[in-house]
Amino acid sequence: MLKNRHIQGWLQASPLTLILIGFLILPIITIVVVSFWQATEFSIIPAFSLENYQFLFGSPVTYKVFFATFKYALITWAMTLAIGFTVAYYLAFHIRSQTMQIALFLLCTIPFWTSNIIRMISWIPFLGRNGIANSALQSWGIIDQPLEWLLYSDFSVILAFVHLYTLFMVVPIFNTMTRIDHSLIEAARDNGASGFQTLIHVIFPLTKPGIMIGTIFVLTLVMGDFITVRFMSGSQKANVGRLISNDIALLQYPSAAATAVILLITVLIVIGILLRFVDIRKEL
């Protein structure tokens, strides 16, 4: 009987296990294996070699590009957090009726009905040299010359990131906030906490798991992205994703795989550090 139950348990877990093995574990193993292969301009040689990694760690470009990736991730994270927390706070604590809450929440998701690329590209006529932003600022007399840094710059890249990914911060934070018992807010008020003190000492600590989940979303999305950086910087800026995509375009799969492995490890380390701080298990 006991043995029977043992088998049953494995059987029940097997569909998910198979899917994870087939679509997650095997591809990662493949990438790791390929990252140790050699390649020339014309051929890929399946022989063990450390040359991809030696080249990667020996090149100053790698460090610059990883630094740029972290910079994008950090700034985007800070901005999506600020906006996401504010929006979620407003929805959760200032909108009284639940119908209104749901309606406004759905409103936030409307931009997601179009593809990322379209949302990105639609910034271009807005931010361009003779775009809406520049001509408006000029006609108001705020600037004489068009602002060059609006488009094809770090600014436009981060703007697009923030635009694309803020919702990934809003959703988990909103979800955590709606679970906060309103009598806790009243209790804080009863104990003499001002609105700001309640925010800092009660709402913020209780929202941490949601913030952490949003953070993981945003960091992994931004650190793995290549298309946003390419479009919004006019191919003038680079991050790790673009490094990989360039290698693939040149059919340098082993080198791309090695970069991917390093990126994966980096992201996992970052998430590992984050999880040390906050227990998100309650939220899942």
Residues that bind other proteins (CB under 8 A): 181, 183-184, 186-194, 197, 201-202, 205-206
Largest Cα–Cα separation, the chain: 84
Nearer to other proteins, 22 or 195 (CB): 195
Nearer to other proteins, 94 or 182 (CB): 182
> DSSP letter at 178?
H
Residue 262 CB, shortest distance to other proteins, in Å, is 37
Residue 182 CB, shortest distance to other proteins, in Å, is 9
Q: Which residues are CB-neighbours of 91 under 8 A, at least 6 positions away?
A: 101, 104, 105, 170, 174, 177
Query: Can you tell me the distance from the alpha carbon of 244 to that of 252, in angstroms, rounded to the nearest whole number?
Result: 9
Query: Can you tell me the distance from the alpha carbon of 26 to that of 113, in angstroms, rounded to the nearest whole number?
Result: 32
Residue 208 CB, shortest distance to other proteins, in Å, is 8
Q: How would you class 199 by CB atoms within 10 Å of its CB: exposed for 0-12, middle for 13-18, buried for 19 or more?
A: middle
Residue 8 CB, shortest distance to other proteins, in Å, is 33
Nearer to other proteins, 139 or 183 (CB): 183
Nearer to other proteins, 71 or 189 (CB): 189
Contact 232, 160 (CB under 8 A): yes
Query: Can you tell me the distance from the alpha carbon of 64 to that of 53, in angstroms, rounded to the nearest whole number?
Result: 16
Nearer to other proteins, 170 or 188 (CB): 188
Helices vs. strands in the chain: H and E counts, helices first: 15, 2
Nearer to other proteins, 34 or 177 (CB): 177
Residue 201 CB, shortest distance to other proteins, in Å, is 7
Sequence-ordered strand ranges (E) for the chain: 38-39, 44-45
Nearer to other proteins, 97 or 145 (CB): 97
Residue at token pair 């985007």: 76
Residue 205 CB, shortest distance to other proteins, in Å, is 5
Q: Cα separations (Å) of 239 from 75, 140, 181, 186, 222? A: 14, 36, 42, 47, 10
Residue 22 CB, shortest distance to other proteins, in Å, is 40
Contact 157, 232 (CB under 8 A): yes
Q: Which residues are CB-neighbours of 115 under 8 A, at least 6 positions away?
A: none
